[in-house]
A and B are shown apart, each in its own frame.
Chain A
Amino acid sequence: MTDATYASGASAFSFRPTRAQIRGAFGVFVVFALWQISVWIIALPPYFYPGPSEVAGAFVDLIQKGILPSYLLDSASRYMAGVSTGLCLGIAFGLLIGLSRFWSRLLGPIINFFYAIVEVAWIPLLVMWIGYGFDTILIAISYVVFFPVLYNTLTGVQTVQKVLVNAMQTLGASRMQVLTSVILPSALPNIITGFRVGAGFAFRGLIFAEMIAAGSGIGFLIFDGAATRQTDRVVVGMIVMGLLWLALDRLFLRPIERATIERWGLVRAKGESA
C-alpha cells in the first residue's frame, strides 16, 4: 500500500513524463476513443447516450453561463466547512477517549453504534428536522469525517511509546506539555491517515447530500441534469467530480500524509530502535 502510494504520489510532481504517465495518458485516450466509437455504433439519441462532443459542448456552455463555477464554489465551501468541523471534533473526541479509560468505556459502544448508521441514512431525518440546504449538508459531511478521524486518532494515541511520556514526566512536564510535545506529534501520522479516509467518504457523501438536499453544487448538477433530460450535463458533473477528487487526493491529501509520515513517523521510528 505505502510503496504504491509513494510511487504514484512522487510521479505527480516530476515534470518529465515517466513511462507510466505516458502509458496512463494513452489509456485515457483509449477510453475516450472507445466512448466515441460506441456512440457511433449505438446511435441512440444524445439524451440517452451523449458522446464526448456533446459533453464538451455542455461543459463550455456551463462555464459560459457561470453555472459550473458557482456550483463548484458552493460544493467547495460546503465540503471544506464540513470536513474541518468533522476533523476538529474527531481529533478532540479521539484524544478524550484515547487518554481516559473512563470516557473510553462510557462512549466507546455508542460511538461504534452511530458509526454504523452511515451518513446516507441521516440525510432523510436531517431534511425533516432542518430542511434543505447548507446546515443539513454540513452536519452530514462532518458526521462522515468524524469517525475515521476519531478511530485513527485513537490508534495513534494508544501506540504512543510510554517511555517518551515517562521521560517527559521525569523532566517535570505538565500534562499539557506531554500532550502537545509527545502525544499529538506521534499521533499525527494516524490522524492524517484518518483525515484522508474521512475526506474520501465525505466527498461521496457531499455528492449524495447535494442530490437530495441542495439546489446547487456538483451533486445537484448531476441529479438535476438527469431530471431535465440534459444527460450531457450529468456526464460533465460526473467527470468534474472524478477529476476534482483525484486532484484533491493526489495534490493535497497524499502529499500531506507523506510529509507527515516522513517528518513525525521517522521520529517515532528512531525512538523505537533506540
Chain B
Amino acid sequence: MTSQAANPFAMSRIDPVAMAGVLPFLAVLAAWAFAPTLSDIPTYKLPAPTIVWETFVEMTLDGSLLWEIWASLQRLAVGYLLGNLIAIPLGVAIALNRAVAETMTPVLSFFQSIAGIAWVPLAIIWFGVGEGSVLFVIANTIFFASIYSTVIGVQSIPQVLYRAALCHGASRWDIITSVVIPGALVQILVGLRTSMAYGWRALVAAEMIAGTNGIGYMTLEAVQWYQTEIVILGMILIGVLWLALDFLVFRPIERVTVRRWGLLS
C-alpha cells in the first residue's frame, strides 16, 4: 500500500502475480460461457455471461438496480447504527458491575446464538412483510453480536489495571475512559466487525423472506420467474458490495485504531 503511494509508476507496470490471479476468473468465465454449448444445460438454468451483462446494463440505465442497492445499504446503515449505538454503551454499562454482568451473560449468549435469521418469521407476524421486519431483524442481529462482544471485552480487562488506576486517584469516569474503553476496544472492534458480517447475511436473508425491495428480495424474487440472469447478477452484486464495504469501511477503521492504540490481535 505505502510502497505504491511512494512510487506512482509501480501501478502502471503489469504485475505478473496479479495476472496469475486473474486466470481462474477467466477460466470460470470461459466455463460459464461455453458450458451451455458443450453440454445440454438449458439457458434458463445458466444464461450466458453476455445476457447477465446486458441485464446489468439495462437495470443500471433504468435505475432499478441502483434503487435496490440503495434500499439494502440504507437499511444496513440504519440497522448497524441503531444496533451498535445501543449495544456498545449498554454493554459497557452492564459489564461494569460484575453481578449484573454475570446475571446477564447466559441470557445474552442465548440471544446472540438465535439472533438473526431465526427472528424473520416472528418479525413477519409482528411487523408484517416489509421494511419493519427487515430492520428489526438486522438491528436485532447486530445488537446481540455487538453487546456480547463488548461485555466479554470489559470482563477480560485484568483487575490489576482497575486497582492501579484507583491507587492513582482515578474517578469512576476516569476508569471508564482510560481503563474500560481502551481495554475493551479490541473486543468492541471484533464486535463491530462480526456484527457487520452477521448483519449483512441477516439483511440479505431477511430481504429474501420478508422484504419488498432490496438486493436479497430481487435475487429470490427472480427465482419464481425463472429469471436466472437476475439471480446471478444479484449474487455477484452481493459479493462486490461486501468487498466494497470491507475495503471502504473496515480496513480504514482497523488501520486507524491499530496506529492509535497499537492493538494487534
Contacts and interface: CB of A to CB of B under 8 A. Distances in A.
B249 interface: no
B208 interface: yes
Interface in A156-209: 201, 203-204, 207-208
A110 B238 CA distance: 15
B114 interface: yes
B162 interface: no
Interface pairs A-B: 3 shortest CB-CB? A226-B121, A109-B21, A117-B239
Interface stretch (B54-62, B76-84, B122-130, B172-180): B122-130
Nearest to B113: A245
A118 B238 contact: yes
A204 B117 contact: yes
A81 interface: no
Interface string A87-119: 000000000000000000111111011101111
Contact of A108 (B21, B103, B107, B121): B21
B205 interface: yes
Interface residues of B, number: 64
Contact residue range for chain A? 35 or more
A120 B124 contact: no
Contact of B102 (A20, A208, A211): A20
Contacts of A106: 20-21, 23-24
A20 B234 CA distance: 47
A121 B121 contact: no
Summarize A's interface: helix, strand, loop or mixed: helix
Contact of A23 (B99, B155, B223): B99
Contacts of A235: 122
Interface of B: 17-18, 20-25, 28, 45, 99, 102-107, 109-111, 113-114, 116-122, 124-126, 152, 155-156, 186-187, 190, 198, 200-201, 204-205, 208-209, 216, 219-220, 222-223, 226, 228, 231-232, 234-236, 238-240, 242-243, 246, 265
B106 A1 contact: no
Contact of A26 (B103, B119, B198, B238): B103
A124 B118 contact: no
A127 B220 CA distance: 10
Interface centre among B22, B125, B240 (most CB of A within 10 A): B125
Given A234-B121, A234-B122, A122 B235 contact: yes
Given A109-B24, A124-B222, A246 B110 contact: yes
Given A128-B226, A231-B125, A105 B109 contact: no
Given A24-B105, A128-B226, A226 B232 contact: no
